[in-house]
Structure 1
């Protein structure tokens, strides 16, 4: 798979700035004329040509992403985010100083969805493509089921990136799942991380609790603990967080421990002004389009103004309230038709439970209020027909309405405004900013049905107000919400971050192992390698017998002097690699060269004195002796009877804006190291330097400090011991084997389980 993907590498980094063809047609409508003016203004402010062209990596994992005919509304995972990332990638690739944009997502091979999602590479235009990599099962699965496979995806993406002509200049992750992957990549490579949340777990939890869902139900359905933890980590690592609205920062990100508004930038997404524009002033064709015919068959008088709502079949979109507001106001029913476009369906009974409930309730309300002939609920439409639906509503002098209980942004509002439609929208979330900038409609309380009806009547019954809102929307949508403007502001925001970036260095040649290996064994020490002398003796015999066939490494929380003493006392063969002090130090044995490049890499944002002052205030923590401390590790004894829960300590560290990695192990130790350091990250660094595929590395552990070594594409094994419950959450993760044998017996068990010495050799460069 990686070889297939690597064959489509992008062109040399000496690529000249791309040339852009003029628009296919001369702009005819006000929105296009204004957009052209904004484009000229933004281009004139672009950075000078002396700056090197950029390679940008976007990551968006869940849902179904392709370049054409996006299946918006197919399910809860294929909504505005999928459209946003595709449009963002294309817009950035068109900027003069961008060399390449890769949008990385998940490869899906599933007969239930299009073959498009099984294509490893899909071009989106010159210098831009979708890259699909495997993550877990081939089938299309919901985003909540992706968590066990994110470590694998991160490792696969890192391997793919190493095959490209050069590293990206920046990683931009979208949503919590991609954030998890991005943090792992940023820590390993040192690349700067930018993040867009789209929606946030703490805010969603708050809303779910408000509608009566119990915490246990929320966790079982949404894996919210993992999601929020990933969001906190992503916020702590990101150099920049891009939001769509100021409201998003103040009401959603404010809920997080790592809340740093100074690292957040409001850059509203754009809309495609070549696709969304108002109808021609020429009279409409005699024969309506297929989608208009589909709508018309529901309506007694299709010539009336159209109140248009376009959304997923989701309770939060609040379409039932809109329907009741319309049906309970006689003037509104007499004046206009209500058209509700909610994805595609053949049979409501075949939809998922949430969509079934919403659509069934809509049909019940239509029947209860006798709205036959004035409400249209088309069953099918193509995404390519959406612009025509907007233009049809504009031609009828209708209104677009978004009554959602909360709307993080509202891309449909931009599309409607670019089509010339006045807006009525919820006063909760992104629409506040959109209508504030565009001045093209009215905000309403989405729970007040009378207010919704009154706002719709105010616009529909006043032709002058309708015309003013329509014109102001056309002008201001191009000024504030074109993709050209978004891409320009985006590049302005990320340039300083990229310029400050310093990539990690390779270790000195004198420290490298001369022998090439195609596989390796890395093991933890306490309660893993050690713990049963008879088992250790048996394992040592196996290691000695195959010593030249694999790299042998030890990864431990102990300091170098301590682990060397243990290895000598237990007559354990000298490892090729020693990862000590919980992944903060890497030694190449023989002459015990230290990897100084790794030390410089992990030193990023490490402030031990500040950290110690914060930790001194926490009860139940006692600093371990100096013999257990090191330059990049602070170690404490943890007294569960007096100390706060580990989760609360993590929260406090985030609140203090400390980007660190805190590990709890053996039921009594709390170790804190730089964010870029851990056993797992050090192991992956070594594997990368020596080009040993992670799929050929057997990794053994037995406590919480070993967790990130075991996640991902390594051959992970948890040995049996009294602390293995600290790794119980890995039971759902792909490729982690729980050995029946204890300590070294468990390692021998894993060697047999994975058929380690007989595995097919991988080529070594």
Structure 2
């Protein structure tokens, strides 16, 4: 970037730079973001009649295309440049625009504070960089999110360099594995790694003479005489294969062999999935609009994970030892549960043998149990007491410590961090969606937004959770580091300011192997293709009537022509999901109205049903748009909560009519509704901002929610293609069905999650065994640093939230 800047200053393009800065200043915006920068530069090139190459290939054009932010001060211009993914530089154009100077992250944060008139010297500086210096790192941005593969290669290289040392280390790991005090894998007869290797060889020779399908019980005591305890397999063939994998690993360490071997090691028996918000239930409730996707995710993940752990126990030959893996969803108990099971302490998870929903109540500052649901924005004061009480409940339910705690969302990960620290248990973070990148300038103007959103507590909790986690799962690569044109969610935490609170100069190491891309699956009981012969005809007729013809106080719109091609959107009503933007786009396009009906599925229709001011405002705005564009006869707004099976059928009914699904969010981390619509057979359009564009692999179906005219044109083009070629709709439908089937499977997800837990648990043990001097100090220092943030920043901010303020729901 330095050479590019120098080339620009030493060329005739310096005049163009001066002129472009004047264009920026005429916009009268001190802060310009990427889209605004590119639009202004494009307009400058056109008005100045620059040749075609200038926009893309000139030195100035290259600089502008790398620039993501511009800050205009009185005499200075700041360029925040991103020359490559996961890396940024700060350049200051000063001295009457005669020179560029590279600046530090601290300088950038100071100017941002000055921009909002909240500069304060001697501000707390948060920097996690030193605590990661002792760990191995990826060096290729394309490999970010592939932490498991990286660690496997790293561990294999270490094993190959010193096999005798690693043999002893593996012996220590396996000798520590127990379940309820029962020794697994290696008994006390074996006292060293060398003895272990010798006994493995004897066991392999012994097993070669036995039938592959012979049950483990038949030769269990023969193996125990060699010092090998249960856990290697359920048959002679599987035990031999597992032991042979171990020998291959020690003879020639290869990643594929390590992964295959570790996958067979029984090490994960008790798992806690933390989803704090509540309304986690199986009948009559699936979260609230702001958390419904998370609740569905955690329920489906729990069922699939419990089945996976049971399968592992069986294949390891441990089911005969009365070993029953257990998965617990930890959530909040809500006394005013509106007739649901959310007021029960314990509920069996349907479809599992040993899966449970464990509910713990919130307690306020007066020691009283909070009766009503609490919004995700008001939840922070309750989390510490919740974690302390949950610890007791978890230990009682599991009858031991969990092997893995998985946090969901910002608050769930703070609780998971507190629990894992106290219980010395592995912590996996799943953020689903981080709020900071969803709300533009939410950190810069946090004080103005604090009463409504309490971002100071949430963003601090995010920093604690993501840095305290042993490993992180994301649903997409873009969730971590975005694209060449957009900043990733985690990347947005690298460098930011909370004016007059703290500066974050390095908030998270994106190149650390803790990041893993593991997309979720889909509930194929509820969501499956419209062409399936398994459809319930009675359900179909009932849902079809709701979508197109029935009258109800929770439905608005009467379709004049119900046979027009339907455009479907399914989302909660908030500014991020942007249903008002979609309605505006539809209202501004007479051609779309002539050819299509717009069907909106939400959980609410009336502003008085809202549980948050933002939600009430969006509901009122949506009604106003329908009135303004006179959409009453071409729109159906179904504002009621419908069961999962009915939702699945709604997608299929729209597909029966060769409809289209539109997801018009301003930003979407992943988008469960996308894969629900796609597996149902609906051609799906989605926002290009966030991970949604990774789910849909065809750019023709990516939308810019800030460009209403362009969105309408894209949808119209699709309709034209369908009219021209009757097979086109079916082609896209089939492609998207197959994409979901091949990429989004709970079976694959839980297989990866189990493997990740085992590898990172092993890696944690390795670090503790091998860390010396600086590395060990850095590890302990990280814990103290996180504690400091928690006690001196997070807790005071959370305490300022009025804990008596609860949100009542209808």
Q: Report the TM-score range of the alignment, normalised by the length of the smaller protein.
A: 0.5 to 0.7
The count of corresponding residues between Structure 1 and Structure 2 is: 499
- How far apart in 1 are the matches of 2:435 and 2:699? 32
> In the TM superposition, what is the alpha-carbon distance from 1:359 to its structure 2 partner?
2.2
Match of 1:620 in 2: none
Superposed counterparts of 1:428-439, under 5 Å: 428-436=689-697, 439=698
Match of 1:118 in 2: 343
> In the TM superposition, what is the alpha-carbon distance from 1:322 to its structure 2 partner?
1.6
Match of 1:171 in 2: 405
Instruction: For structure 2, list consecutive stretches of 5 or more residues without a partner in the other structure.
Output: 1-178, 185-229, 235-258, 314-324, 364-369, 482-487, 494-506, 550-557, 805-810
* CA RMSD, Structure 1 to Structure 2 (Å): 3.7
**Pairing 1:248–2:448 present:** no
Contact 2:278–2:334 (Cα < 8 Å) also in 1: no
Match of 1:659 in 2: 782
Match of 1:742 in 2: none
- How far apart in 2 are the matches of 1:367 and 1:105? 41
Contact 2:571–2:577 (Cα < 8 Å) also in 1: yes
Pairing partner for 2:687 from 426, 430, 446: 426
- How far apart in 1 are the matches of 2:771 and 2:453? 32
Match of 1:522 in 2: none
SS of aligned partner of 2:382? helix
Task: Map Cα deviations across residues 193-226 of structure 1 (whole Å, 9 max, x no partner).
Answer: 110112224324545479xxx4323222222222
SS of aligned partner of 1:377? strand
Match of 1:538 in 2: none
**Pairing 1:468–2:702 present:** no
**Pairing 1:416–2:677 present:** yes
Contact 1:193–1:240 (Cα < 8 Å) also in 2: yes
The 1:253–1:605 alpha-carbon spacing in structure 2 relative to 1, beyond 3 Å, is farther
SS of aligned partner of 2:524? coil
- How far apart in 1 are the matches of 2:536 and 2:776? 69
- How far apart in 1 are the matches of 2:647 and 2:283? 13
Match of 1:343 in 2: 603
- How far apart in 1 are the matches of 2:686 and 2:775? 50
Task: Map Cα deviations across residues 530-564 of structure 1 (whole Å, 9 max, x no partner).
Answer: xxxxxxxxxxxxxxxxxxxxxxxxxxxxxxxxxxx
Superposed counterparts of 1:245-284, under 5 Å: 245-250=476-481, 251-256=488-493, 257-261=507-511, 262-280=513-531
> In the TM superposition, what is the alpha-carbon distance from 1:169 to its structure 2 partner?
1.0
Task: Map Cα deviations across residues 106-142 of structure 1 (whole Å, 9 max, x no partner).
Answer: 111015x333111111111222111111222232111
**Pairing 1:453–2:712 present:** yes
Match of 1:757 in 2: none
Pairing partner for 1:225 from 442, 450, 456: 456
Match of 2:216 in 1: none
Task: Map Cα deviations across residues 232-288 of structure 1 (whole Å, 9 max, x no partner).
Answer: 122222111111111110111112212334311111111112221122477996996
Superposed counterparts of 1:559-578, under 5 Å: none
- How far apart in 2 are the matches of 1:400 and 1:129? 34
Match of 2:747 in 1: 484
> In the TM superposition, what is the alpha-carbon distance from 1:367 to its structure 2 partner?
1.9
> In the TM superposition, what is the alpha-carbon distance from 1:482 to its structure 2 partner?
1.8
**Pairing 1:61–2:288 present:** no
Contact 1:60–1:104 (Cα < 8 Å) also in 2: yes
Task: Map Cα deviations across residues 580-612 of structure 1 (whole Å, 9 max, x no partner).
Answer: xxxxxxxxxxxxxxxxxxxx99x9978658979
Superposed counterparts of 1:383-422, under 5 Å: 383=643, 384-422=645-683
The 1:341–1:169 alpha-carbon spacing in structure 2 relative to 1, beyond 3 Å, is same
- How far apart in 2 are the matches of 1:272 and 1:143? 25
Task: Map Cα deviations across residues 679-699 of structure 1 (whole Å, 9 max, x no partner).
Answer: x9xxxxxxxxxxxxxxxxxxx
The 1:207–1:17 alpha-carbon spacing in structure 2 relative to 1, beyond 3 Å, is farther
The 1:152–1:398 alpha-carbon spacing in structure 2 relative to 1, beyond 3 Å, is same
Match of 2:166 in 1: none
- How far apart in 2 are the matches of 1:207 and 1:290? 45
Contact 1:339–1:376 (Cα < 8 Å) also in 2: yes
> In the TM superposition, what is the alpha-carbon distance from 1:381 to its structure 2 partner?
4.5
The 1:729–1:168 alpha-carbon spacing in structure 2 relative to 1, beyond 3 Å, is closer
Pairing partner for 1:296 from 548, 551, 556: 548
Superposed counterparts of 1:533-544, under 5 Å: none
Contact 1:58–1:101 (Cα < 8 Å) also in 2: yes
The 1:277–1:728 alpha-carbon spacing in structure 2 relative to 1, beyond 3 Å, is closer
Match of 1:556 in 2: none
Structure with higher helix content: 2
SS of aligned partner of 2:585? helix
Contact 2:380–2:798 (Cα < 8 Å) also in 1: no
The 1:495–1:52 alpha-carbon spacing in structure 2 relative to 1, beyond 3 Å, is closer
Match of 1:158 in 2: 391
SS of aligned partner of 1:312? coil
Instruction: For structure 1, list consecutive stretches of 5 or more residues without a partner in the other structure.
Output: 1-9, 20-43, 504-599, 613-631, 634-657, 663-674, 681-703, 712-726, 736-765
Task: Map Cα deviations across residues 88-116 of structure 1 (whole Å, 9 max, x no partner).
Answer: 111111112262211101111015x3331
Task: Map Cα deviations across residues 650-699 of structure 1 (whole Å, 9 max, x no partner).
Answer: xxxxxxxx61314xxxxxxxxxxxx6899x9xxxxxxxxxxxxxxxxxxx
- How far apart in 2 are the matches of 1:363 and 1:18? 62
TM-score by length of structure 2 reads: 0.56
- How far apart in 1 are the matches of 2:548 and 2:531? 21
Match of 1:566 in 2: none
- How far apart in 1 are the matches of 2:635 and 2:800? 50
Match of 1:622 in 2: none
- How far apart in 2 are the matches of 1:183 and 1:151? 11
> In the TM superposition, what is the alpha-carbon distance from 1:327 to its structure 2 partner?
2.4
Match of 1:320 in 2: 580
- How far apart in 1 are the matches of 2:730 and 2:489? 35
Match of 2:423 in 1: 189
**Pairing 1:93–2:306 present:** yes
The 1:116–1:427 alpha-carbon spacing in structure 2 relative to 1, beyond 3 Å, is same
- How far apart in 1 are the matches of 2:440 and 2:330? 31
TM-score by length of structure 1 reads: 0.59
Contact 2:479–2:691 (Cα < 8 Å) also in 1: yes
The 1:106–1:281 alpha-carbon spacing in structure 2 relative to 1, beyond 3 Å, is closer
The 1:494–1:375 alpha-carbon spacing in structure 2 relative to 1, beyond 3 Å, is same
> In the TM superposition, what is the alpha-carbon distance from 1:469 to its structure 2 partner?
1.1
The 1:320–1:139 alpha-carbon spacing in structure 2 relative to 1, beyond 3 Å, is closer
The 1:380–1:177 alpha-carbon spacing in structure 2 relative to 1, beyond 3 Å, is closer
